[in-house]
Structure 1
């Protein structure tokens, strides 16, 4: 039987959730590196428990390599790859999956300990259960994504990559919001103003932009149209239409990059306008004002990083920084949305 804390706040529980959130950010960055190095299909089986143990002998490595040779990516892109090269991409994917297992343990074990010690605020228990379910869904969607590249494709399906990354960022947002609630306790008074809706709209726009970025990544669309602000000298790329609505929205390199650009412009304008308005507001607390300016500054920085990443054809280091910056933008957006709901 689970016991609950009589208080509605617990700083130790909040710190635990912040640690899990930091690990999720690490998972997002490592996942991005895994995709950028084309390593995500190197492990062709999903073994949630025994898969934590990597190959330990030459025979194990040869067996793992043999399984990889059966998929289209090897035949069409990496034919003749050496075992040493295979080990390089294998360790990227293994590390990504292993970190996922660590996150599961870091969440579940302290949860049980806090429950036994009656340090879980009752009002947050259901939300913690939803977070745990999100983590499980993230693992399942990860395998669903990988499976899309094992039979007929040489890479994962972009829409499945979008679902996988979207779940990761949703999990990050849920962890941060819950940690803030756990640290500060239930709101004693809410702010009777439109700021809650404004901040929520901004957060939603940030999330949409992250999903569009996943489609860019899944289609390798950062490797084409590397000029800016035009696209090969045109406002709309020549290959925008891909023969159908879904094929265009999810699988056209020109379309997904254009959509990502357009929403980036919109997000930048909205974030800056909201940040300046927040700073001038007579209703918001100073912390809310600073967070509003912080979100605006982070969005502007992220837009600059995006342009630089595009114009340099998405080098590994800059692409990872761009993805890490997206996590920072979302985190600040969550903090701003959470804070403006309180006086």
Structure 2
């Protein structure tokens, strides 16, 4: 009996790019909330209230008075209690504990929201070709973020410290922003394939948007050093600092690295400078997009970038003028992720056509 001829019917792919794209954007939204919660824990001094890293057992809060007392006694051994919160009692400890516990619980939920659907899509063969390695890398980065978070918190237990190390804070923030960007870009790429053609002005506007995006990232990381050094509590005027454009105390140390990362006047001025340059670049890209791009996603994304940066700039000024109240500082940090989102949308909308790539 002769072999059957091979079927000419097309094989139906089980890949689900749209579902995976929406899932990744949903996880990115959870990371956005996590960044805002992180800002709130830092501003309220809650981040050092849990002195144990227990990824599994720490999921549950204290369930007895004895457990509350044990954790409170641990907290009383660190400098933050002695120098900032001495005598605030177990009720005061509970107030800062719950915010940090919610922050850590949300991180665990992000891990489940990523790992379980990834396994489901993987086993069903729903992951498009070329994306398995990237999705596994994102899983590893998410786990690394948890470890870096504890590495940051542990620095706050050292002698004479009441806050975490600025270097570790910026490392934690930078990894969170990088993870958010990777999730968002991958999700967008699955939902919006590269265009077949693009308007002639796209290339030059894309260069403008890239310059704005890199300046925005630099301003955000500089903002991490402002937060880590509590520099926002000084020089609460704008645009001048102690009556001068460049503050009198700028660059006082011999070490350039120490000036850039630890000196209050220097880190705040640098953040202001980078934010101003980023705002000008973003508004320039938005204006160019409005003038030179046809109606569509790319044009709207460029305008959105300009609007988001303008909003963040105003919030930054208000945060400085009011000496960083908790609600305003948290909003400023959360809006930084909005700005990053707008930059990613603009760059994605301005991608080179398929044949040019």
Scaled by the length of structure 1, the TM-score of the pair is 0.94
1:107-152 CA-to-partner distances (Å, cap 9, x unmatched) read 0000001111221112222211221122112111111111111012
**Corresponding position of 1:318:** 328
**Aligned equivalents of 1:37, 1:335: Cα separation in 2:** 32
Question: Where do residues 189-338 of structure 1 align in structure 2 (5 Å cutoff)?
Answer: 193-243=203-253, 244-282=255-293, 286-338=296-348
- The Cα of 1:316 is off from its aligned counterpart by 1.4
1:339 matches 2:349: yes
- The Cα of 1:7 is off from its aligned counterpart by 7.2
Counterpart among 24, 39, 43 of residue 46 in structure 2: 39
Would the alpha carbon gap of residues 195 and 132 (structure 1) be closer, same or farther in structure 2, given more than 3 Å must change? farther
Would the alpha carbon gap of residues 121 and 46 (structure 1) be closer, same or farther in structure 2, given more than 3 Å must change? same
Say if 2:308 and 2:338, in contact at 8 Å, map to a contact too. yes
Unaligned runs of 5+ in 1: none
Report runs of 4+ in structure 1 exceeding 4 Å deviation. 186-192
RMSD: 1.8
**Aligned equivalents of 1:131, 1:189: Cα separation in 2:** 30
Counterpart among 187, 195, 201 of residue 179 in structure 1: 187
Question: Where do residues 22-101 of structure 1 align in structure 2 (5 Å cutoff)?
Answer: 22-101=29-108
SS in 2 for 1:122: coil
1:159 matches 2:150: no
**Aligned equivalents of 1:175, 1:187: Cα separation in 2:** 20
- The Cα of 1:186 is off from its aligned counterpart by 5.3
Task: Give the number of the structure whose alpha-carbon radius of gyration is greater.
Answer: 2
**Corresponding position of 1:127:** 134
Instruction: Count how many residue pairs are aligned between Structure 1 and Structure 2.
Output: 338
**Aligned equivalents of 1:342, 1:203: Cα separation in 2:** 17
Say if 1:8 and 1:186, in contact at 8 Å, map to a contact too. no
1:303-340 CA-to-partner distances (Å, cap 9, x unmatched) read 01100111011111111221121111100100111110
- The Cα of 1:197 is off from its aligned counterpart by 3.7
